[in-house]
């Protein structure tokens, strides 16, 4: 009976948000904010009594699918002819490592009782950004394409770069060790990134060519054109994982190749992203409200909130500013890029993977509580500020 009520509530929320989505955006109220709030209301904190655990297969599957599709669809919207790789490379290979290291050292000062390796794990979980939470930043034409595409590329690739390192640290913790003893993780990370990129690119190219052929021969019905991206994204993820690559990087590169192969294919992916993919993303945030917040709220203390605030501000902004030295960007641009590093689906998925691998959050509840508060604040703060900050920034940066 509870499941039926939950489905009814989800249907009502989708209808209600659908009828008022543009109106809500005028007040800077985003879809993730609404769906997360509904998840909290349905949880045991308020009206619900059924509890889903962090290591639930249902929760993990929803988060994994959402991240695959977000990466695939975001990459497809990048026009490689116009993309300048200088800024994304700086953000990924200077800003990202600095963010992880900086956050880990600050965490050691704020959480002195936690083992350093757990704090490194937390820093890795919180490193990837999620452009979907500040959607206006990467979709609004008022933002210079050089800036919006850089933020989009960064959020698309940092998930896959961090993921193999996260798995390595998580495996070390699960084995009972408390530190990294050698450099064996470096070839593993390199293999994950390279194989993921190759598999995604090859599958993206093959499927793009096949899709165009079937469209020209009129073998494919109109309704299936918008469903094909889902299958291609999942196929890329699965094959890359089987071959030792990173599935999320594969999904990103598959979307990148297909979106740049043909304008019609890009439009099909955009249509898919605006409907089916968007719904899955919103449901993921409902799951976050239903599962994560009730599981960690008892551990939201001053230290947790302090680190969460720092994570979304100086622990992101200072590394970004360092990575952009020499670009001649003004302070407003550096702050704009630094602020729009939302934490969302990737961090949520990483927590689920870590919990399934390690087995329990017991004894380290503050770490998981911190991740939850960072995502919660990001959903609210980046959702509220996306449109106003874009408007302010674009006035002087045409």
| 194 vs 225, more confident | 194
Determine which of 130-134, 152-156, 337-341 has the lowest per-residue pLDDT on average: 130-134
Q: What is the pLDDT of residue 66?
A: 79
| 302 vs 156, more confident | 302
The domain over range 2-395 is classified in CATH as 3.40.50.300:
no
In the chain, alpha helices (H): 2-26, 31-42, 57-76, 86-90, 96-110, 116-126, 135-139, 145-174, 185-216, 222-225, 228-242, 247-261, 263-272, 278-287, 293-296, 302-312, 314-323, 331-339, 345-358, 365-395
Which residues have C-beta within 8 Å of that of residue 366, sequence separation ≥ 6?
111, 114, 299, 301, 303, 304
Cα–Cα nearest to 13, from 273, 290, 226? 290
Structure tokens belonging to residue 239: 């094959």
* Sign of the CA dihedral with 153 first, then 156, 161, and 165 last: positive
- The answer to whether the beta carbons of residues 384 and 28 sit under 8 Å apart is yes
- The answer to whether the beta carbons of residues 134 and 340 sit under 8 Å apart is yes
- The answer to whether the beta carbons of residues 337 and 121 sit under 8 Å apart is no
Structure tokens belonging to residue 246: 């990173």
Give per-residue pLDDT as tens, 173-194.
877 665 666 666 678 778 888 8
Q: What is the pLDDT of residue 1?
A: 39
Cα–Cα nearest to 88, from 102, 78, 77, 100? 78
Which residues have C-beta within 8 Å of that of residue 166, sequence separation ≥ 6?
121, 124, 125, 350, 353, 354
Q: What is the pLDDT of residue 178?
A: 59
Measured CA to CA, the distance from residue 94 to residue 34 in angstroms comes to: 35
Cα–Cα nearest to 172, from 217, 130, 124, 204? 124
Cα–Cα nearest to 256, from 152, 151, 146? 152
Which residues have C-beta within 8 Å of that of residue 40, sequence separation ≥ 6?
46, 289, 290, 293, 294
Which residues have C-beta within 8 Å of that of residue 55, sequence separation ≥ 6?
352, 355, 356, 359
pLDDT interval class at 228 (50, 70, 90): confident
- The answer to whether the beta carbons of residues 137 and 34 sit under 8 Å apart is no
Structure tokens belonging to residue 303: 């230290």
- The percent of residues above 90 in pLDDT, for the chain, comes to 33
pLDDT interval class at 246 (50, 70, 90): confident
pLDDT at 255 over 80: yes
Measured CA to CA, the distance from residue 161 to residue 154 in angstroms comes to: 10
Measured CA to CA, the distance from residue 318 to residue 334 in angstroms comes to: 10
Which residues have C-beta within 8 Å of that of residue 384, sequence separation ≥ 6?
28, 29, 30
Give the residue extent of every domain in the chain.
Answer: 2-395
Give per-residue pLDDT as tens, 17-75.
878 878 887 888 888 898 899 888 888 888 765 655 666 677 778 778 877 887 787 77
Cα–Cα nearest to 318, from 106, 88, 89? 106
Q: What is the pLDDT of residue 140?
A: 82
Overall average pLDDT of the 211-221 stretch? 80
- Tally of CB atoms within 10 A around 16: 13
Measured CA to CA, the distance from residue 148 to residue 185 in angstroms comes to: 33
How many residues belong to the chain? 398
Measured CA to CA, the distance from residue 232 to residue 257 in angstroms comes to: 12
Measured CA to CA, the distance from residue 42 to residue 50 in angstroms comes to: 9
Structure tokens belonging to residue 366: 């503050």
Q: What angle do CA 289, 292, 293 make, to 5 degrees?
A: 65
């Amino acid at each position: 009976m509870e499941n039926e009520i939950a489905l009814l509530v989800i249907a009502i929320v989708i209808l209600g948000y659908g009828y008022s989505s543009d109106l809500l955006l005028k007040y800077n109220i985003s879809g993730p904010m609404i769906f997360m709030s509904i998840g909290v209301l349905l949880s045991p904190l308020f009206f619900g009594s059924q509890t889903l655990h962090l290591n639930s297969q249902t929760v993990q599957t929803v988060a994994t699918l959402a991240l695959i599709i977000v990466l695939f669809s975001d990459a497809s919207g990048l026009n490689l002819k116009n993309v300048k790789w200088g800024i994304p490379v700086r953000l990924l290979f200077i800003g990202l490592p600095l963010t992880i290291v900086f956050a880990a050292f600050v965490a050691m000062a704020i959480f002195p009782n936690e083992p350093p390796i757990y704090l490194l794990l937390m820093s890795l979980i919180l490193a990837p950004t999620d452009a979907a939470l500040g959607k206006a930043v990467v979709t609004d034409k008022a933002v210079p394409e050089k800036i919006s595409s850089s933020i989009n590329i960064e959020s698309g690739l940092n998930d896959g770069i961090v993921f193999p390192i996260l798995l390595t640290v998580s495996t070390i913790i699960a084995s009972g060790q408390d530190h990294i003893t050698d450099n064996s993780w470096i070839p593993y990370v390199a293999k994950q990134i390279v194989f993921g990129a190759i598999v995604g690119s090859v599958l993206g190219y093959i499927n793009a060519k096949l899709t165009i052929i079937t469209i020209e021969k009129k073998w494919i019905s109109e309704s299936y054109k918008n469903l094909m991206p889902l299958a291609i994204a999942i196929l890329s993820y699965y094959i890359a994982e089987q071959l030792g690559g990173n599935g999320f990087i594969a999904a990103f590169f598959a979307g990148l190749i297909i979106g740049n192969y043909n304008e019609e294919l890009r439009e099909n992916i955009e249509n898919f992203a605006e409907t089916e993919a968007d719904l899955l993303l919103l449901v993921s945030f409902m799951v976050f409200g239903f599962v994560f917040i009730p599981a960690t709220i008892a551990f939201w203390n001053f230290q947790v909130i302090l680190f969460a605030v720092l994570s979304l501000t100086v622990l992101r902004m200072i590394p970004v500013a360092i990575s952009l030295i020499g670009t001649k960007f003004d302070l407003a641009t550096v702050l704009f890029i630094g602020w729009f590093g939302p934490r969302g689906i990737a961090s949520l998925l990483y927590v689920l993977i870590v919990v399934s691998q390690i087995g329990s959050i017991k004894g380290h509840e503050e770490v998981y509580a911190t991740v939850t508060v960072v995502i919660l604040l990001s959903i609210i703060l980046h959702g509220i500020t996306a449109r106003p900050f874009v408007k302010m920034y674009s006035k002087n940066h045409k």
